[in-house]
Structure 1
Amino acid sequence: RPGTVAVGEDRARTLGVRPGDHVQLRFGDGAEARLRVVATYERALALGDFLFSYEELTRHMSAPPPVRVLAALAPGASPTSLSTAFPGARVERDPVPERVRAEDQALGDVLTAVAVTAIGGFTVIAVLSTLTLISVGRGPELRQLRLAGADRRRLRRMLLLESAATATAGLSLGTATAALPLLAFALSAAGRLPWLPPGQGALIVAVVVLTTTSATLLPARGALRGRYPVAAR
């Protein structure tokens, strides 16, 4: 009701208030109000630190948003019961689902994608150049193996196994390094384990595997293509 507010648990703990206490707040239009705390809630990350009644909040807004209530009816219930409970409301049956997005979320998503792409690109270039230099330096070793009797199929299999080991080690170390801070942040901020969309996870694995494989096999093409006499056994 007007004159009351619900506060997130973390913010309530910071302010030292609990249900029944009063808190002094300043709204976006500069008006101050002393509201009574009537409840606390856990999901402050999604709902915000303060929840007001519609009447309390809209009096401080120049363009109040429309109110929409999503309700699930019990089996056999009639939608007219909603019209009775909310006089003057327009009841829509089976409304089209919509995704709630903040006004600046689209710009934030673009900036995040650009930053992650730039960091990932520099990382791929660094790993690719390092592994390429290592593979180029192993040219004499591969030629010696060819002279000793190793055929191209065996050398290619050896290089594939080495690239698989490199990719596995990189993914394991990278996952362990990122899991520690992400786990601490997710548990403290959201109270749940961190989650990565499967598509993004598959893309990361594919980029790592492609980078290590190409940096290992491409520089060794000269040693694999050349014709060498087979050593007598």
Structure 2
Amino acid sequence: SGVLHSTVVLARKEAGEPRLDRLPVMAVDPSALPATLDPKVTAGDLGDLRAGTVAVGEERARSLDLDVGSEVTVRYGDGANVALRVAAVYERSLALGDFLFAPAELAPHLAAPLHTRVLLSVVPGAALQDVKAAVQRVLAGAAPGATVTERPKGEHLRTEDRGVGQVISLVAVSVIGGFTVIAVLSTLVLIMVGRRQEVILLRLVGAGRRQIRWMLRIEAMTVMLVGLVVGTVTALVPLLAFSLATTGSWPYMPPEQAGVVVLVVVVTAGAGYTLPLRSVLRKRPPSVVGHG
């Protein structure tokens, strides 16, 4: 199935005041559903999508008091106001948008109804040439002369391919994380510098270097453990509420990202505890001479 993307304007009232919402929408071939795309229908049938009908996301349908057979009026990008009958209601509106159309309904209102992507249901083990041929057949009607090329293995996506939004988010998170690491590290260093006399006194009363190092390691591991547990619980509470409310699933972090977070905590706490006292531990303790 080819995919068409566009936007529509929805007129509604909020607290008695008129409001216009511009919403991203998409159109797919109903006969290819749900093999290529599964919106998780809760009412109606996506097979009824055609010109004059629309499928509506569950949250949007609830806010507009819509059900299968109801009518909703939307304004397309060409300015046309069209009343559409609701053919189905689906759950996964967070990923697919609030409205799902058939190409026969959306394409006449687009200046250039070209597919922005192609969805395929591929049999495991299918030959690459067969996949290319299937894509070529889908593109033939919408983009005559288009060709399909294979991206070489190992070729990385360019920054613009990944999207400016992702790059900005990555930079913002990195800056915040960097400032946090600097703040934590400087605090630990200042605390440990203030404990130099304590370490010197321990050396004077007979504590060895190995004993002091083990003491500092245990303290550092305690700080790491407490920091990871408290930080995880603090982040999990709002993330859990948001994730369950929007997607109905548990929050997820890729294992490699979780590993980076743990590594940063371990390195920061270890450096904050060990670096300031290295010079004290290398030196021999001053001798105490008694006078009788």
Q: Who is 1:27 aligned against?
A: 76
Q: Who is 2:103 aligned against?
A: 54
Q: Who is 2:36 aligned against?
A: none
Hey, what's the Cα distance between the residues in 1 that align with 2:209 and 2:181?
Answer: 28
Equivalences for 1:151-170 in 2 at 5 Å?
Answer: 151-170=208-227
The worse-fitting range, judged by mean Cα deviation, of 158-167 and 59-68 is: 59-68
User: Where do 5+ consecutive residues of structure 2 fail to align?
Assistant: 1-49, 125-129, 142-148, 152-159
Q: Who is 2:259 aligned against?
A: 202
The amino acid that maps onto 1:61 is L
Indicate how the Cα distance of structure 1 residues 45 and 105 shifts in structure 2: closer, same or farther if over 3 A, else same.
Answer: farther
Aligned counterpart for 2:242 among listed residues 185, 198, 217:
185
Indicate how the Cα distance of structure 1 residues 147 and 157 shifts in structure 2: closer, same or farther if over 3 A, else same.
Answer: same
Identity of aligned residues (%): 50
- Greater RCO, CA 8 A, separation 6+: 1
Hey, what's the Cα distance between the residues in 1 that align with 2:184 and 2:271?
Answer: 11
User: Where do 5+ consecutive residues of structure 1 fail to align?
Assistant: 90-94, 98-102
Aligned counterpart for 1:172 among listed residues 192, 217, 229:
229
Indicate how the Cα distance of structure 1 residues 105 and 23 shifts in structure 2: closer, same or farther if over 3 A, else same.
Answer: farther
SS of the aligned residue for 2:202 comes to helix
Hey, what's the Cα distance between the residues in 1 that align with 2:211 and 2:193?
Answer: 18
Aligned counterpart for 2:184 among listed residues 114, 122, 127:
127
Aligned counterpart for 2:118 among listed residues 68, 84, 107:
68
Hey, what's the Cα distance between the residues in 2 that align with 1:45 and 1:27?
Answer: 21
Q: Which has the higher strand share?
A: 2
Aligned counterpart for 1:13 among listed residues 47, 51, 62:
62
Hey, what's the Cα distance between the residues in 1 that align with 2:87 and 2:162?
Answer: 31
SS of the aligned residue for 2:166 comes to helix
SS of the aligned residue for 2:239 comes to helix
Shift of 1:59: 1.4
Per the normalisation by structure 2, the TM-score is: 0.67
The worse-fitting range, judged by mean Cα deviation, of 167-176 and 58-67 is: 58-67
Per the normalisation by structure 1, the TM-score is: 0.84
Q: Which has the higher helix share?
A: 1
Hey, what's the Cα distance between the residues in 2 that align with 1:59 and 1:167?
Answer: 60
Q: Contact conserved, 1:3 with 1:35, CA < 8 A, in 2?
A: yes
Moved over 3 A (4+): 71-74
The amino acid that maps onto 1:11 is R
Q: Who is 1:219 aligned against?
A: 276
Hey, what's the Cα distance between the residues in 1 that align with 2:180 and 2:73?
Answer: 49
Hey, what's the Cα distance between the residues in 1 that align with 2:270 and 2:232?
Answer: 20
Shift of 1:119: 0.6
Hey, what's the Cα distance between the residues in 2 that align with 1:194 and 1:6?
Answer: 28
Q: Contact conserved, 1:149 with 1:230, CA < 8 A, in 2?
A: no
Q: Contact conserved, 1:7 with 1:39, CA < 8 A, in 2?
A: yes
Cα-to-partner distance string for 1:131-170 (whole Å, 9 max, x where unaligned): 1110000000000011111111111111111111001101
**Alignment RMSD, CA only?**
2.6
The amino acid that maps onto 1:115 is A
